[in-house]
Structure 1
Amino acid sequence: MNRHFLVRRTFARVALRLSRWRTAGTVPPRGVLVGAPHTSNWDWVLTLLLAWDSSVQIRLLVKKEFFRGPLGPLLRSTGAVSLDRENPGATIRELIADAATDESFLLGIAAEGTRSRSDHWKSGFHRIARQTGLPITLAYVDAPSRTVGWGPTFAPTDDLVADMDRVRAFYADKRGIRPELATEPRLREETRGVE
């Protein structure tokens, strides 16, 4: 392990201990990470601590507005990737190309797309996983147990509803920091039958 990861891992373990949070699960070698429930800005901090505790770098998709001002350099240094929600194609194409050559590619996506309650999740995580052939890992924050962790990993299929049933079953007992803001894991495409 290089010094950079050792320093981050040590910091993460101290921070988690002091805040009385713990990590759980096994980090996947590569894949598309779905982070949920996403109800607070603390989710980003906890996800970083999870990654650093596991000595991995996650490329977290973050809306471009957060990169303005002094927060931009901090976000870039932690692996965040700027996403223009109005025109995400260029960023996604670049990430898909990286996934083809990077043996430790981990892309983190908050599928809820917002910290506020919404009607649907965004389907990009499933589409990117299918386009790249990467598995999906369900990462989570569970405030009642003060746990941030790596959940199950599975290969996405052509059966979107079955895949989302699996996602819903996993997140059914997970509660975010502000549970009243959580969005049920449901994609708009499930009712249309297309992705």
Structure 2
Amino acid sequence: MKITGWKTTGHLPKDERVVLIAGPHTSNWDFVLAMSFILSLDIHLHWVGKHSIFKKGFRRLLRKMGGIPVNRANPEALKNEIYNVTQKYKGFIIAIAPEGTRKKVDRLKSGFLRIANETNSKIMMAGIDFSNKTIELGDFFSPSGDADKDLKFIKEYFANFAGKRPELS
């Protein structure tokens, strides 16, 4: 991270259950950056990624790096994976891109709200800003109970950061 000029502000809590939502997600480079970030922290962090990137030959490595595949056609499998993480670790961090895609979206996915609720986890926001090469680990977010209102607030929060392809933010 230092070699490429990236810096991180804020910090990740230890020994707590955290769902880390990161955005904006606008490019395949986000994955490379995220993996570099995870390796630079020297912590065990889980992350949710599209099942299609877990291809034969890479599946074992991606899982070893904390990857949890999600297939929207089989949400029960993700639930089981998350349950296994909660059983294995006292404190954990599960990172998710709430856009659910690299394309421009009108509405964020709400699965992270359910995951946080079902695992009794806090929600932390992380903004990725390619314009100044910064990952900002923000404050905890407390859901209001109104998913539409919460998703709108989070989308507006991520609008403060420039993705690799800002036109897709």
Please say whether Structure 1 and Structure 2 have the same fold, judged by a TM-score greater than 0.5.
yes
State the aligned residue count.
167
- For residue 19 of structure 1, what is the aligned residue in structure 2? 4
Q: Percent identity?
A: 35
- 1:74 CA drift (Å): 2.8
The TM-score, its normalising length taken from structure 2, stands at 0.87
Check conservation: 1:34, 1:137, Cα contact below 8 A.
yes
TM-score by length of 1: 0.76
Highest RCO, 1 vs 2 (Cα 8 Å, sep ≥ 6): 2
Gaps of at least 5 residues in structure 2 are none
Find the counterpart in structure 2 of residue 103 from structure 1.
90
* 1:97–1:81 CA distance, 2 compared to 1 (3 A): closer
Counterpart in the other structure of 1:53: 40
- 3-state SS of the aligned residue for 1:75? helix
**Residue pair 2:129, 2:161 contacting (<8 A) in 1 also:** yes
Equivalent of residue 89 in structure 1, options 67, 76, 80? 76
Which structure carries more helix by proportion? 1
Measure, in 2, the Cα distance between the counterparts of 1:138 and 1:68: 29
Moved more, 158-167 or 169-178: 158-167
- Of structures 1 and 2, the larger Rg is shown by 1
Q: Is the 8 A contact 1:50 1:149 kept in 2?
A: no
Aligned residue for 2:2, secondary structure, equals helix
CA deviation vs aligned residue, 1:67-96 (integer Å, no higher than 9, x gap): 113332331221111222211112213313
